[in-house]
Structure 1
């Protein structure tokens, strides 16, 4: 049966104001007359009993009155802190309006201002000062049925850099989407900020900064902190899935390789971004008529996202029968020092598979002119990197140039939707990392949609949680990408949309969770019996934020 919002006190002392102060129990003005008597709420609430629909109307009226997105973020955070079910009802019923507030792009600004807008702690802060007692710190979390943790060390928040403990906004936002998009019960989620210090001088000099005012731990000390956290998390919450989020390149790849074969874990910046980008490519190819093996892809950026996308492109091509060496030659990286080529001696390990034989190229425009890519994908958070001349050049030798400006927040986008469409004469197959409005050119209306990881990670996590999968594997991400692309309709493609509407995100997540579960069962990774109808089973387990009836007095 569908999971419903917890509104039944589990402790005898959960009465009166204790009920109203617990966001998992509080229904506010929606407590019935009987519940008000049973729970000693009489007089603590105004007399009119509201429906949840009336509460939603009140919240929306106040939310839409806020003058800035940051104030809207603060408003939703306050709602989350007082009435969990109502918060998720709002998110689920209005995803297009709410997702850009609780996550990208607004969450970036919220993280930058986190210490200045901080009102109430959410999640667990594990700091370098907790070494040797992290298990005790995690045991302070009041819920024991935690199935998924999103953890960040705050070193590379979106395209904004080292925000230290302010990065807690990212795990909180991600897990809100796990519940809103995929129906993971909120009591099964835990945001964690691993505070290893910060090297951001502005934060270190800010008296309102909420984290350690110390430089970041290095190498062995850092690794020991992460290892103790992972071990403690698995002991405290057996079977928990751990998602690494917004770690810097020099740690992200290393930690993924270290833990991916030990525990069920993934890095959304590497693997989730890859799946959503590959899905967008597959959708674009339905319009252009090409095949993945026939593409030449140039990445603006050579970090986690670029390497992750390239790796999944290669894996997808290999699964289609292309040999790996040939597949790798379709992907080219461009970093801050120019085109990544074999003769360079300054390359990090993750760039080496895509360092091809070619003369050095200093500018992105020259790389586009020389390589003649069919697709350019921006993932380096260099705002405006896709100039008018670059897009026009792409359109000169591609009938339908693929232009993915995936960096976020909006200020870091490589180009806007309007620029991509206008500079290409309306021929670009465009996806974005931040939301852009519809564009009309020569009487045709284009509706760009975000290549947002929220299409992938909620369903990925749900599938792993429900099956109790002991690993999260590359074939799961490949299946997620294909599933997402398959949900894009001809009507979507006709208006330039390479992804389904956010309004369908719950069904998207259910289908992706099903694809993930099928692999978990097939590869003997699942810890539960396989149901006859996996999709129906997945849907039946998804949380729905409706108020349950409270218990009567004993």
Structure 2
């Protein structure tokens, strides 16, 4: 379909200027499509305006709304600005601001993003997928909104998480945005505030935990595979008590086999299993590795004597070490090398806990991984100050630099899965992997090489120069030109759409 857009820009006296593009759309659908630019300005000029407007704003939520608005109108411009200033803008489109945006999702709603599938849609999930305009989806991020960051049950307001994750799939890994699908499964919410909120956009009912929930998830998975293929990447995000965070590379290698870790919250099973795998790669047996990992929750240490554990915890249950009634007691009794928090309950690494870690270790490892920033187990300032700058600190959300009294400046690192999942997703999509094992995450820096070497890839022939192949697939943020450079007919001048 050849669609014509008239631009009111004088070219020369009595001659109109037209810019033409080959598109599948015309009229209003074309004008509303954020993937085609309809303005005669260069992208440089548009980006400069965008960036200047952003710098005038001080409120993070205001910046989020403005950024998402640009994404809705001009997708390539959005990603250009995001990619050029990723360090400054990642905390806006992702944690911590995305958490605030989720709590306000129904109040700042402008335009639907992604698919909402409710438990009342059982039996019709495939038809809902058929209504999604893109037919070549390669990556799906799905949530049921039960455990959004450290904010708890936000129901369908949790859609901000899949949307934000997939923004980083494109910005950090170059995955084409039309190949990305954010999904929220709506089975209700136990958040009383939302159930009383007239602007809440989901089902006004308590969260369904019956067999109907399992049936809906099964139907969703089957529909995605049937519609988009077995090699579609599906990332489950912020489901209840499910969290998967990669092992930060600072503690990998030979040192990993001698550390001892206490986790704040049993939701850390994914991290714990990755640490066990790495320890085993460095010579320990599985049993020896698991002996070095302890978990602590609101009821205390996970020990064999507790009656509220299940089969998932079995490998990490230990004999009781004695009277441990607080996390500080656990630290003083177990004497860990590292403490890691994923509880989402705020400042649980108290000053006394941090001081104890500093007294027990020359280089204590303190990872406050809960999001958003307000839910972190401790601040970067407390960690560095109370250990005299000796700790290895990482957080799930960003903290600013810390200056100690002697003038030393520490810039905190972020132990956030945003630094791993875009690259893993790209490698998985390009190689056609159908099952992503934990080992893939341990090999995350070279996914393509690993899956082909281990016979896990389904896309052949195997690229000989994998780096060149990956770079050739990365999405280009430049505007498309749909016709040759210029056409000149009597009285009319044509130029490509920018």
TM-score normalized with structure 1 length: 0.81
C-alpha distance in structure 1 between counterparts of 2:438 and 2:29, whole Å: 45
Q: Distance in 1 between matches of 2:76 and 2:26?
A: 17
Aligned equivalents of 1:408, 1:530: Cα separation in 2:
39
**SS across alignment from 2:476:** strand
Is 1:21 the counterpart of 2:13? The answer is: no
Residue by residue, what CA displacement relative to the aligned partner does 1:143-171 show, whole Å, maximum 9, x if unpaired? 11100000001111001111001010000
> CA shift at 1:18, angstroms?
3.6
Give the whole-Å Cα distance in 2 for the aligned partners of 1:9 and 1:122: 26
Q: How far apart in 2 are the matches of 1:280 and 1:116? A: 40
Q: Deviations over 1:96-149 (max 9, x none)?
A: 111000010001110000011111001111111211111110111111110000
Give secondary structure in 2 for the equivalent of 1:547. Answer: coil
Residues 1:321 and 2:312 aligned together: no
Question: Residues of 1 paired with 2:356 and 2:142: CA distance?
Answer: 41
> Equivalents in 1 of 2:437, 2:157: separation in Å?
30
Partner of 1:385: 348
Secondary structure, in 3 states, of the residue corresponding to 2:116?
strand
- The alpha carbon displacement at 1:28 in A equals 4.2
User: How far apart are the structure 1 equivalents of 2:386 and 2:228?
Assistant: 52
1:426 maps to which of 389, 414, 431: 389
Tell me which of 295, 304, 312 is aligned to 1:333.
295
2:232–2:434 CA contact under 8 A, matched in 1: no
Q: 1:9 to 1:409 in 2, by over 3 A?
A: farther
Q: CA–CA distance in 2 between the matches of 1:24 and 1:8?
A: 13
Partner of 2:23: 10
User: Whose radius of gyration is greater, 1 or 2?
Assistant: 2
Contact 1:153 / 1:193 at 8 angstroms: preserved in 2? yes
Aligned to 2:3: none
Secondary structure, counterpart of 2:132 in structure 1: coil
Matched with 1:527 is: 458
Question: What are the equivalent positions in structure 2 for 1:67-86 lying under 5 Å apart?
Answer: 67-86=58-77
**Alignment correspondent of 1:498:** none
Task: Identify if the C-alpha distance between structure 1 residues 366 and 8 changes in structure 2 by more than 3 Å, giving closer, same or farther.
Answer: farther
Q: Residues 355-402 of structure 1, C-alpha deviation per residue, up to 9 Å, x if partnerless?
A: 111235110011111111111111111211111111111111211111
- Mapped partners of 1:426, 1:192: distance in 2: 42
For residues 242-321 of structure 1, the aligned pairs below 5 Å read 242-249=234-241, 252=242, 269-270=243-244, 273=245, 275=246, 277-282=247-252, 291-303=255-267, 306-321=268-283
Q: What is the rounded CA distance, in whole Å, between the counterparts of 1:360 and 1:350 in structure 2?
A: 25
Equivalent position of 1:146 in the other structure: 137
Superposed, which structure 2 residues align to 1:490-501 within 5 Å? none
Output aligned runs, 1:84-233, within 5 Å. Answer: 84-233=75-224
Secondary structure, aligned partner of 1:318: helix
1:167 match: secondary structure: helix
Superposition pairs of residues 426-465 of structure 1, within 5 angstroms:
426-441=389-404, 442-465=406-429
Could you say what secondary structure the match of 1:454 adopts?
A: helix
Structure 1 distance, partners of 2:285, 2:342, is 26
State how far apart, in whole Å, the 2-side matches of 1:434 and 1:116 are.
24
> Does the aligned pair in 1 maintain the 2:248–2:415 contact within 8 Å?
no
For the residues of structure 2 that align with 1:452 and 1:10, how far apart are their CA atoms?
39
Q: 1:516 aligns with which of 431, 447, 456?
A: 447
Q: Distance in 1 between matches of 2:22 and 2:32?
A: 12
In the TM superposition, residue 459 of structure 1 has moved relative to its aligned partner by 0.7
CA distance in 2 between partners of 1:100 and 1:348 (Å):
36
State the alpha-carbon separation in 1 of the partners of residues 312 and 67 from structure 2: 39
Is 1:339–1:360's contact at 8 Å kept on the other side of the alignment? no
TM-score (norm 2): 0.90
SS of equivalent to 1:151: strand
Q: Which runs of 5+ in 2 are unaligned?
A: 1-19, 485-493
Aligned to 1:502: none
**Farther-moved stretch of structure 1 (519-528 vs 178-187):** 519-528
**In structure 1, the residue corresponding to 2:371 is in which secondary structure?**
coil
1:506 paired residue number: none
CA distance in 1, matches of 2:390, 2:89: 30
The farther-off stretch of 74-83 and 193-202 is: 193-202
Q: Does 1:536 align with 2:468?
A: yes
**Contact 1:338/1:360, CA 8 A, preserved across alignment:** no
Bigger mean CA deviation after superposition, 78-87 or 50-59: 50-59
CA distance in 2, matches of 1:121, 1:551: 32
When residues 247 and 387 of structure 1 are mapped into structure 2, their CA distance, relative to the original with a 3 A threshold, is same
Secondary structure of the residue that 1:160 maps to in structure 2?
coil
1:499 match: none
Aligned structure 1 segments of 4 or more residues deviating by more than 6 angstroms? none
Once the two structures are TM-superposed, the CA of residue 473 in structure 1 deviates from its matched residue by: 1.4
Give how far 1:410 is off. 0.9
The answer to whether the 8 A contact 1:280-1:451 is kept is no
